[in-house]
Amino acid sequence: MNKKELIEKAAQQAGLSQKDTAAALNAILATITESLVNKEKVALIGFGTFETKDRAARTGKNPRTGEAVQIEAAAVPAFKAGAALKNAVNVK
């Protein structure tokens, strides 16, 4: 499912216009992004938690040449699924 399909389905379930649903989704995504940029954790109880993790600098290998390459340290976004989401996905 892509963003457009998500907006269509969410608008249908909520009984809202696609324009209003798209604006709400964009605002939510922008807020989550801004929080992660500020190193804040975003916890959606039952769904999951978005946070940033620091990845240390390391030495990698260029797969074409086999040459050692230095990879810089970076902050990376991470998502940990909540219990309700895990249970919903694993219904048998």
Residue 91: the pLDDT is 83
DSSP symbols for 54-90: EE--EEEE-TTT--EEEE--EEEEEEEE-HHHHHHHT
Residue 64: the pLDDT is 93
Contact 76, 50 (CB under 8 A): no
Residue 50: the pLDDT is 98
Distance CA 92, CA 85 (A): 14
Mean pLDDT by 10 residues, the chain (92 residues): 97 96 97 97 96 96 94 96 94 78
- What structural domains does the chain harbor? 1-38 (no CATH), 41-92 (4.10.520.10)
